[in-house]
């Protein structure tokens, strides 16, 4: 049996507008890499990146701890984490590590878990950063492509995105609060108006249809959320201008990436993604904020390297 395995998992964007906690899309912009090795006693984390190395405070550590407990693994384990996904910017950073950890554990111990079980274990890692379990980012990082998450029982539906779908992401250089996801979840309304729910549900349904039909313009025009985005956008200085600039430059849909503060535009390969990215950068600049822009495509899921 192999004594060590290395797995790479992509970053992701969650929610895609109306699909709060339900939709995820894996992106080829950044990857986290995890090496899981049988060594010594207990479970240890090693990393050169500035991340927590206590098991319970690290999304990958939490996953390995839970899986070792569940499968009664007593072997000592060393978890080497190499972060590629920026932490705290709405790109599913904790989820990428958690997804890589779940897949690495599955491969190292030849468990051959099904997709839903892998996502379930990876989701436990979200407790470390979000303070609650949600599966949209981890499902995308584990499985790749576009995912729809149903819970109780957990059931993830995956679709391969259209080849011509392009994403432009603006990552603002702002200080994000510790436990940002937890903080930004507290900003959300506890109750919503039925008419708002109907509007979001219609867009969420159309968005899923867009992925199934591989229709980029249907996907783009469905990125429309009147519940979560209005409640969170005050945490992103310049958001309205960034969004308007992107739409004026040809983006088909624009929203907050996951819990933010990154902003993501959906467009087609036939548009001018560079122009959209530059327009987003100008939007943030108008609010006095510097940002990094990334133009990327959907990614496949976590895999052994």
Between residues 255 and 293, which has the closer beta carbon with respect to ligand HSE? 255
Cβ at position 73, least distance to ligand HSE in Å: 28
CA pair distance 46, 5, nearest whole angstrom: 15
Cβ at position 274, least distance to ligand HSE in Å: 27
Between residues 38 and 197, which has the closer beta carbon with respect to ligand HSE? 197
Q: Does 15 interact with ligand HSE (rule: CB under 6 A)?
A: yes
Q: Does 233 interact with ligand HSE (rule: CB under 6 A)?
A: no
Quick one: three-class SS letters along 89-148? CCCCHHHHHHHHHHHHHHHHCCCCCCHHHHHHHHHHCCHHHHCCCCCHHHHHHHHECEEE
SS3 at position 295? strand
The one catalytic residue among 126, 208, 267, 293: 126
Q: Which residue has 């797995």 as its token pair?
A: 7
Between residues 84 and 250, which has the closer beta carbon with respect to ligand HSE? 84
State the binding string over 16-35 for ligand HSE (x if CB under 6 A, else -). Answer: ----xx--------------
Q: Is 181 a catalytic residue?
A: yes
CA pair distance 54, 62, nearest whole angstrom: 9
Q: Which residue has 């090496």 as its token pair?
A: 35
- Joined together, the tokens standing for residue 203 give 């867009």
Q: Does 207 interact with ligand HSE (rule: CB under 6 A)?
A: no
Q: Is 126 a catalytic residue?
A: yes
Query: Any residues with CB less than 8 A from the CB of 205 and at least 6 apart, and which?
Result: none
Of 5, 7, 9, 14, the one binding ligand HSE (CB under 6 A) is 14
Between residues 181 and 224, which has the closer beta carbon with respect to ligand HSE? 181
**Residues catalogued as catalytic:** 126, 181
């Amino acid at each position: 049996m192999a004594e060590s395995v290395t797995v790479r998992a992509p970053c992701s964007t969650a929610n895609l507008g109306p699909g709060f906690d339900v939709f995820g899309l894996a992106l080829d912009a950044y990857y986290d890499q995890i090496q899981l090795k049988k060594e010594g006693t207990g479970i240890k984390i090693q990393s050169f990146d500035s991340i927590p190395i206590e098991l319970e405070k690290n999304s990958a550590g939490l996953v390995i701890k839970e899986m070792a407990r569940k499968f009664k693994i007593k072997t000592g384990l060393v978890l080497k984490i190499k972060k590629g996904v920026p932490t705290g910017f709405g790109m599913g950073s904790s989820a990428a590590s958690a997804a890589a950890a779940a897949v690495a554990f599955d491969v190292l111990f030849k468990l051959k878990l099904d997709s839903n079980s892998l996502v379930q274990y990876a989701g436990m890692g979200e407790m470390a950063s979000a303070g609650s379990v949600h599966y949209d980012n981890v499902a995308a990082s584990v499985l790749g492509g576009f995912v729809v998450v149903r819970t109780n029982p957990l059931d993830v539906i995956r679709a391969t995105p259209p080849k011509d779908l392009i994403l432009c992401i603006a990552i603002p250089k702002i200080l994000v609060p510790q436990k940002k996801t937890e903080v930004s979840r507290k900003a959300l309304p506890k109750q919503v108006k039925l008419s708002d729910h109907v509007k979001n549900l219609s867009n969420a349904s159309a968005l899923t249809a867009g992925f199934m039909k591989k229709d980029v313009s249907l996907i783009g025009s469905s990125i429309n959320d009147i519940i979560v985005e209005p409640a969170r956008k005050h945490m992103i200085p310049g958001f309205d201008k960034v969004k308007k600039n992107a739409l004026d430059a040809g983006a088909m849909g624009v929203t907050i990436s996951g819990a933010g503060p990154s902003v993501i535009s959906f467009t087609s390969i036939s548009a001018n993604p560079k122009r959209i990215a530059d327009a987003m950068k100008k939007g943030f600049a108008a609010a006095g904020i510097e940002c990094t822009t990334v133009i990327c495509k959907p990614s496949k899921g976590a895999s052994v390297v």
